[in-house]
Structure 1
Amino acid sequence: TLQEIAQIKSAPLKMNRIRAAPVNFLLRRCLTTLLLLNALAPFKAHCMHTFQITHQLGETLIKGHTEGKKSKNPALWWVDGAREEVRWSFEELGVLSRKVANVLSDACGLQRGDRVILILPRIPEWWLMNVACMRTGTVLIPGTQQLTAKDILHRLQKSKAKCIITDDSVAPAVDLVGAECQSLKFKLLVSEGHREGWLNFKDLLKNAPSDHHCVTTKCQDPMAIYFTSGTTGSPKMTEHSHSSYGIGLTVSGRYWLDLTSSDIFWNTSDTGWAKSAWSSIFSPWIQGACVFVHKMPHFDPSIVFESLSRFPITVFCSPPTAYRMFVQHKLSCYTFKSLRHCVSAGEPINPDVMEEWKAQTGLDIHEGYGQTETVLICGNFKGMKIKPGSMGKPSPGYDVKIIDEHSNILPPGKEGDIAIRVKPTRSPFLFTCYADDPEKTEATIRGDFYVTGDRGIMDEDGYFWFVGRADDVINSAGYRIGPFEVESALVEHPAVVESAVVSSPDPIRGEVVKAFVVLTPDYASHDPEKMMKELQDHVKKVTAPYKYPRKMEFVQQLPKTISGKIRRNELRQKEWRK
């Protein structure tokens, strides 16, 4: 029964034990389904037709808190470098978000389906705007503050957004291009000051009523649009429904992040990216956990270490780039008294980084894999044996396979495309479409599968391993080489901070492996030729010798997207233009 399943304290571990016995395939599928149904139980009355996450979940949490089940932790705990703090309970969050919803619907005249671009730093108003947009049925389009005026123009014109919400730092860029955007009707400024042509949010909030009835939305109505990170081309508008995030992220919150209502969870993602919705809104709040936020205008490992030491943060999430920076420091100087669980996502995390983090903190890093188009596809769930370098096993709700170019399912050990079955039934946890672009949406389907665009391998134990983006895989003299394995081998050497591996043209082999390498300060002055030979020999020892980088270039930094992902396509294009 669901009640019995709910009592399993280490559900993924139990599921793995069943997975080990092929004869119990039906039982395994039943258990996976029951685990998923149990996670979705709070929403079962609303899943078939209409669904409003802020009403269904928000009212349940507020009711629980007012009936004596109140946690000692707030819903949102925000701090800044000046030691200023904001703590909102779920009840306070509900009242404030209703006032903000009235600002959007009354002062701005926004209606269900209207698109709204939100560009704010890590300030409490960002969370209020997210909840208020869901309440009003408007479609939220988050953006990072690092966007240029040209980027903002592209997003405004492509999305046909009716409103943009931002602060003093971005407003001048909006004013430079706003006249070229015919759909833009309202500009809302989150500031103590005023600006010509802009509505002032704080003034409007003071007089807004606190009564607001959630707009009725259907499960598949658009809730948010996220521009992809653009690692392989121009950003696409990825549309998610109220159910894909509102329901789909229950699984990651419960089984990957391992959250309960007693946890304080800190995710360091920038507010402009889908991962912030994953782990700074839906996953923790669906579990009733506290979302901890540090304003941190610029990423600083020392601020992270100080915060983990000072505040009772129990669960922590940061991208692989951050963990690579963390392990360059002497972590033994800090004591993370409350921290019990660490996760990472965004790109693969190198095994040696995981091992060094555990050696210094005693904690594993539970890697997860997903895309802007999905929720968590695979994860190293609490209770699972972790294989360093693996993305883990498929998340309940997804039927994940490795397929070839003809949509045939490949056996364990064979490299192919990572894909999710969508026929005869499409998972409700997938994106609905690339907004206003049916051709690109259709191009993601091959046979019965949604193709992620990533290459991978599944091993005999059902663990998935990332090889690289399909465009990143190198074919040298008939050998297929994934960049991640070579990058991981390089970063094991003490001289290497990080690296990016791409193909480079070669008259004999067609293409060869080239590595762009960032060295640590202690090795930066070493002779380049000797350093290259040392690193090449190192890679030959760590992985298959044919994978070693025949070319190498030492650089000060690697080109990255705004979200911190390495732009290998930029490096590859540079090589092939030579």
Structure 2
Amino acid sequence: MKRLVDLRFILKELTRSHPRIIIRDSHTHKACHPKNFTDYDTIKHEFKFPQISGHFNFAEDVLDKWAEKEKAGGRAPNPALWWVDGQRREVQWSFEELGFHSRKLANVFTELCQLRQRDRVFLMLPRIPEWWLVNIACLRTGTVLLPGTCQLTARDILHRLRTSGAKCVVTDEFLAPLVDEVAPQCPALNCKIIVSHSNSRRDGWRNLQDLMSHVSSNHVCVKTPRDDPMSIFFTSGTTGSPKMTQHSQCSFGIGLTVNGKYWLDLTARDVLWNTSDTGWAKTAWSSVYGAWIQGSCVFVHRMPRFDTSTVLETLSKFPITTFCTAPTAYRMLIQEDMSKYSFGSLQHCVCAGEPINPEVMQKWKQATGLHIYEGYGQTETIVDDEGTPLSKGTEGNIGIRVKPHKPFCLFTEYTGDPEKTAECYRADFYLTGDRGYMDEDGYLWFVGRADDVILSAGYRIGPFEVENALIEHEAVAESAVVSSPDPIRGEVVKAFIVLTAEYESHDKSQLVADLQTHVKQVTAPYKYPRKIEFVEQLPKTISGKIRRVELRKREWSTKPEAE
């Protein structure tokens, strides 16, 4: 179970303003920070978001302002974007150079592709510089960006193109054939742009480099109303097809000030490496808006697949000051011999996306001397199923107060699905889908996702506490806990476990008994896993989060839905 941030700050300040990021020290559990949180009480009372006029455009109002400071010598001499591929190729662009290239691409969109404000652009690119240019060009033109992971199938692409009505797609030569499979079924799609640095050509596609060579670098930013749509992310739930989650111009562009300044702890002197996949919203939060609001350098490693040795070598070789990755990645990294590496520049480490185990935090601290600061992605209060606030100590839904004033940083809607949008609200609150309770000191304890909670013989069991106990055993590299059907108790706790290399050859029946005993000793005995299955790997999303829903559906004899 996780204790989160001091709700007195959250309820008085962030609930009225920013619903996405809160800060919690992994050891004291208080909202604090080594550099920016020198005086927490003063900051929490004095913090205010910048005043937002009727119009806001991140490219003009933030990026171009940093370019001006750069010219005037008012910014540290860091690049704005620093890209490496592990094969001695690098790209370093200043804010001025980002502006130059993105204005050319903006002209490609408007002059050559005939895109207009609020038209939708579907983007599937790996971690290459052009991904960032498309992001900025969409901001400059007021077109709506729809990012997608490069692991999408043709079926996934079809759903996204048809549901969104995207008029333009930007991808590379590896994914272009999948788009061509489904393009005839997408009548709105009229512009296909391929990013290829080879001389190869593909019928029906326009090469990005060629297009940019034919346009000017002069472009006037569109005046975008603050509430205009800026980006749409497809989010997968436990039921139904992925839904379109829409964000406005200011929800990311201003709202992520808290992310960049306080959680990521960034300044213009910092270099941030966030390992998120480009199809995940976390890349936008940290590797675009949160970082560049602060004028920081965004570091990118091409790294097609997460590789522990590459990560550790990169942290040692480059002047990265801030590191952000998923808890699963940290669990993998601490399995390596980290004593072989030196982390002279690293000052601040964060994680997000799923709960992280205290043992992982402790081992990381021993190896690097640094805490891991965990971000929980929603501001909260606790209510029952009807939206009525509950008393302290009572478990309920974690929600965001939206009445009388809805926080401007909260997502706008599930685009095109008013019924699904309405289902998120109860009385005065938006329900996050998480469960928790508030203790007598005003701290929030995270229990788990509402659909992950296990009800066994009348006991409610959150999977994270069991996983937390299991990971403390030296035989366990990773674990995932879900409910499993039982004729007596209705459902029981089942653990799927990936063993460490040293224990792979051990007697499995003895290991089951040892692990069950261990959990009984670490936490309440009724929470121990009555069923244990050893597996080579756990199903995960592209962002590294364990897909408990897939394991749970397998246990209950339901075919897992496709991502």
Task: Report the TM-score, using the length of structure 2 for normalisation.
Answer: 0.91
1:484 to 447, 464, 468: 464
Q: Please say if residues 75 and 268 of structure 2, whose CA atoms lie closer than 8 Å, have aligned partners that are also in contact.
A: no
SS in 2 for 1:531: helix
Give the distance between the partners of 2:203 and 2:188, measured in 1 at CA.
19
SS in 1 for 2:39: helix
Indicate whether 1:14 and 2:39 are aligned: yes
Give the distance between the partners of 2:440 and 2:133, measured in 1 at CA.
46
Q: Please say if residues 401 and 418 of structure 1, whose CA atoms lie closer than 8 Å, have aligned partners that are also in contact.
A: yes
Deviations 1:391-412 (A, max 9, x none): xxxxxxx5x2011223222334
Q: Using a 3 Å threshold, how does the CA distance of structure 1 residues 113 and 307 change in structure 2: closer, same or farther?
A: same
Aligned-pair distance for 1:14?
3.2
The match for 1:446 is: 426
Indicate whether 1:87 and 2:92 are aligned: yes
Q: Once superposed, which parts of structure 1, at least 4 consecutive aligned residues long, lie more than 6 Å away?
A: none
Deviations 1:154-200 (A, max 9, x none): 11111111111000110011111111111111100011332110011
Indicate whether 1:537 and 2:522 are aligned: no
Indicate whether 1:265 and 2:272 are aligned: yes
Q: Please say if residues 458 and 464 of structure 1, whose CA atoms lie closer than 8 Å, have aligned partners that are also in contact.
A: yes
* Equivalent runs, 1:311-350 vs 2, <5 Å: 311-350=318-357
* Equivalent runs, 1:290-305 vs 2, <5 Å: 290-305=297-312
Task: Return the letter of the residue paired with 1:14.
Answer: D
2:230 to 177, 202, 223: 223
2:154 to 149, 155, 177: 149
Indicate whether 1:188 and 2:193 are aligned: yes
2:493 to 510, 513, 518: 513
SS in 2 for 1:275: helix
Indicate whether 1:161 and 2:166 are aligned: yes
* Equivalent runs, 1:173-184 vs 2, <5 Å: 173-184=178-189
Q: Please say if residues 164 and 186 of structure 1, whose CA atoms lie closer than 8 Å, have aligned partners that are also in contact.
A: yes
Aligned-pair distance for 1:13?
5.6
SS in 2 for 1:429: coil
The match for 2:261 is: 254
Deviations 1:450-477 (A, max 9, x none): 0000112333444433211101100111
Q: Using a 3 Å threshold, how does the CA distance of structure 1 residues 545 and 232 change in structure 2: closer, same or farther?
A: farther
The match for 2:208 is: 201
Aligned-pair distance for 1:32?
3.3
Deviations 1:77-125 (A, max 9, x none): 0011111111000011111110010011111111111111000010000
1:113 to 118, 131, 140: 118
The match for 2:60 is: 55
The match for 1:386 is: none
Indicate whether 1:172 and 2:177 are aligned: yes
SS in 2 for 1:504: strand
Task: Report the TM-score, using the length of structure 1 for normalisation.
Answer: 0.88
Q: Using a 3 Å threshold, how does the CA distance of structure 1 residues 127 and 452 change in structure 2: closer, same or farther?
A: same
Aligned-pair distance for 1:12?
4.1
Indicate whether 1:473 and 2:453 are aligned: yes
SS in 2 for 1:502: strand
Aligned-pair distance for 1:229?
4.0
* Equivalent runs, 1:135-146 vs 2, <5 Å: 135-146=140-151
Give the distance between the partners of 1:156 and 1:223, measured in 2 at CA.
17
* Equivalent runs, 1:485-500 vs 2, <5 Å: 485-500=465-480
Q: Which has the higher contact order (CA 8 A, sep 6+)?
A: 2
Deviations 1:225-260 (A, max 9, x none): 001144555321100000100011011100000000
Unaligned runs of 5+ in 1: 1-7, 19-30, 371-376, 378-397
Indicate whether 1:126 and 2:131 are aligned: yes
Q: Please say if residues 397 and 434 of structure 2, whose CA atoms lie closer than 8 Å, have aligned partners that are also in contact.
A: yes
Give the distance between the partners of 2:456 and 2:37, measured in 1 at CA.
40
Give the distance between the partners of 1:353 and 1:410, measured in 2 at CA.
33
Give the distance between the partners of 2:131 and 2:490, measured in 1 at CA.
49
Aligned-pair distance for 1:345?
0.3
Give the distance between the partners of 1:104 and 1:463, measured in 2 at CA.
48
Give the distance between the partners of 1:546 and 1:234, measured in 2 at CA.
36
The match for 1:570 is: 550
Q: What fraction of aligned residue pairs are identical, expressed as a percent?
A: 61
Aligned-pair distance for 1:11?
5.7
Indicate whether 1:70 and 2:75 are aligned: yes
Q: Please say if residues 107 and 215 of structure 2, whose CA atoms lie closer than 8 Å, have aligned partners that are also in contact.
A: yes
The match for 2:14 is: none
Task: Return the letter of the residue paired with 1:276.
Answer: T
SS in 2 for 1:562: coil
Give the distance between the partners of 1:96 and 1:461, measured in 2 at CA.
52
1:525 to 505, 515, 526: 505
Give the distance between the partners of 1:461 and 1:450, measured in 2 at CA.
24
Give the distance between the partners of 2:238 and 2:318, measured in 1 at CA.
35
Q: Please say if residues 277 and 542 of structure 2, whose CA atoms lie closer than 8 Å, have aligned partners that are also in contact.
A: no
SS in 2 for 1:134: helix
Give the total of aligned pairs.
524
Give the distance between the partners of 1:9 and 1:567, measured in 2 at CA.
33
Indicate whether 1:355 and 2:359 are aligned: no
Indicate whether 1:244 and 2:251 are aligned: yes
Q: Please say if residues 80 and 297 of structure 2, whose CA atoms lie closer than 8 Å, have aligned partners that are also in contact.
A: yes
The match for 2:15 is: none
Give the distance between the partners of 2:338 and 2:542, measured in 1 at CA.
27
Give the distance between the partners of 2:440 and 2:202, measured in 1 at CA.
61
Q: Please say if residues 326 and 545 of structure 2, whose CA atoms lie closer than 8 Å, have aligned partners that are also in contact.
A: no
Give the distance between the partners of 2:45 and 2:531, measured in 1 at CA.
49
Give the distance between the partners of 1:231 and 1:360, measured in 2 at CA.
37
Q: Please say if residues 165 and 189 of structure 1, whose CA atoms lie closer than 8 Å, have aligned partners that are also in contact.
A: yes
Q: Using a 3 Å threshold, how does the CA distance of structure 1 residues 493 and 575 change in structure 2: closer, same or farther?
A: same
Give the distance between the partners of 1:91 and 1:331, measured in 2 at CA.
38
Task: Return the letter of the residue paired with 2:46.
Answer: L
Give the distance between the partners of 1:571 and 1:65, measured in 2 at CA.
51
Aligned-pair distance for 1:558?
1.3
Q: Please say if residues 232 and 569 of structure 1, whose CA atoms lie closer than 8 Å, have aligned partners that are also in contact.
A: no
Unaligned runs of 5+ in 2: 1-32, 559-563
Q: Please say if residues 120 and 167 of structure 2, whose CA atoms lie closer than 8 Å, have aligned partners that are also in contact.
A: yes
The match for 2:539 is: 559
Aligned-pair distance for 1:413?
3.2
Aligned-pair distance for 1:565?
1.7
Q: Please say if residues 466 and 484 of structure 1, whose CA atoms lie closer than 8 Å, have aligned partners that are also in contact.
A: no
Give the distance between the partners of 2:69 and 2:269, measured in 1 at CA.
14
Give the distance between the partners of 1:232 and 1:501, measured in 2 at CA.
20
Aligned-pair distance for 1:66?
0.9
